[in-house]
Structure 1
């Protein structure tokens, strides 16, 4: 019987800038009697990576531009936050009904450039996305390999909305040690039909499934996936970003 298990790793402390995040993850696993094995996948929320990598901004240090002030007044928003979104965006895709849809410096399309005020100590503190989530994932993977002699894959996640559908879902924004895809092209289905367009974004599927365990309330920012046979590879999140000439929506 095919099955995978997703285990929430509890007991991590509040993360602060400069913390050794891989060690804290390994310590929490040991405390909870969770054994990390070769071929496992660790799924890590970007929030704790952003905190450990000092991707934090005190909004009191932000001077809003005239555009940020104008837009904030129109939609009853914090002009400092709007200005920070502008600063962390490569392009503003849409400003409508109080929503800022932006293209980030990484090439992601998301609300408010991924800037978040939740689960951050301090009334005026905001987190922004890690500078290089692939590198963040590699550093976690490499530290675990050096400490435990175990080769895992790492997925870094964030929570985004989707066009045409209500509700948000976790998606991958960084990875290390695995291909982001399962490519079925050239294979045959159960009826012998050749598959020509079936390339599954497995890192996004694993990211979404992990949120069922981690969620937003239980302080479980990391989970361990066991039993999924991924394709080992030095994949990058950039492999998932569709180039502009192939994108129907930007």
Structure 2
């Protein structure tokens, strides 16, 4: 729907929400504490923000035991480990500490798992709020995440419905006439961060309402792609493994570990890496094949694995080629 693209954006988080229990209707809980005043109620174009923990509690995702006891089941791949901290990729494609399992704001001896499908949770809440208020709203489900290059954490969108999750400025021009090539603000994440400032970590305020970006709210009947659209494809993630883990995985050379290293690199990039790391000059046969001296083959195989290539087995079409070993590009 239409509206301002900025200038004045506000967020407020109501007090008085009771402890969320399995089976609770989140729409009823929110509307009960919003009131009808100018800082309450809901207006067309508002974005309702709710923590994933509240969603999980309402959906019965509170389990007995510690985070560590449930980590394996919620993880598709361990990205990195440092001491007691495990960064894992979840079944949703999210990369989070302890796979997003939370042991805070819950009874001792219990843990809260992420919603099974946060986008579906957001869609259900949007539909319920529409049915009760008649308002055209967006919904964002949030969780807390760290950043690879910065200390501290911020909230991000793990689920969304009825919200444009990212704006696309590619092809537009700034005030100086410079064309914007890849600028795509993840506005759903920005909404999540703003809402968290109003909610606070210990305030017992699982809901927030962000007002002033009605231009990001989609029409009724259009839930949009959800927050899953913000998840980068695993083979396009340049930080799919921690530094230590990447070394170990490359040395191990298990084909099941290829995806986090990304799509196969061009031959020139692999050749440069072989020269840089091993001092080996690889000969170009074609864009899909390089050759290296046999003595360099064991270490060249490790570098090749990290770049999406593989050392061809001895014999076969490598037999009789002078002693050079072939390195071939992998399948994307």
Give TM-score, length-normalised by structure 1: 0.88
CA RMSD of aligned residues (A): 1.5
* Residues 1:23 and 2:28 aligned together: yes
CA shift, 1:143, in A, is 0.4
* Residues 1:111 and 2:117 aligned together: no
Residue correspondence of structure 1 range 1-250 to structure 2 within 5 A: 2-30=7-35, 34-59=40-65, 80-120=66-106, 122-228=107-213, 229-230=215-216, 232=218, 234-250=224-240
Would the alpha carbon gap of residues 31 and 178 (structure 1) be closer, same or farther in structure 2, given more than 3 Å must change? closer
The question of whether the paired residues in 1 share the 8 Å contact of 2:45 and 2:217 is answered with no
- Deviations along 1:200-242, one digit per CA (max 9) or x if unpaired, are 1000111111111111111111110111131525121221111
Alignment partners' CA distance in 2, 1:24 and 1:83: 31
- State the SS of the aligned residue for 1:110: strand
Would the alpha carbon gap of residues 238 and 246 (structure 1) be closer, same or farther in structure 2, given more than 3 Å must change? same
Deviates more, 1:201-210 or 1:233-242: 233-242
Q: Unaligned stretches of 5+ in structure 2?
A: 1-5, 241-332
- Deviations along 1:6-63, one digit per CA (max 9) or x if unpaired, are 011211111100111111111111277612011100111111111000001111xxxx
Give TM-score, length-normalised by structure 2: 0.67
**Aligned residue in 1 for 2:305:** none
Deviates more, 1:230-239 or 1:7-16: 230-239
Q: Unaligned stretches of 5+ in structure 1?
A: 60-79
The question of whether the paired residues in 1 share the 8 Å contact of 2:47 and 2:217 is answered with no
Kindly tell me the number of residue pairs found equivalent between the two proteins.
229
- State the structure with bigger RCO (CA 8 A, min sep 6), 1 or 2: 1
- State the SS of the aligned residue for 1:200: coil
Would the alpha carbon gap of residues 54 and 31 (structure 1) be closer, same or farther in structure 2, given more than 3 Å must change? farther
**Aligned residue in 2 for 1:69:** none
CA shift, 1:191, in A, is 1.0
The question of whether the paired residues in 1 share the 8 Å contact of 2:14 and 2:34 is answered with yes
Deviates more, 1:50-59 or 1:190-199: 190-199
Alignment partners' CA distance in 2, 1:125 and 1:107: 24
Alignment partners' CA distance in 2, 1:50 and 1:202: 23
Alignment partners' CA distance in 1, 2:11 and 2:190: 13
For the pair shown, the structure with the greater C-alpha radius of gyration is 2
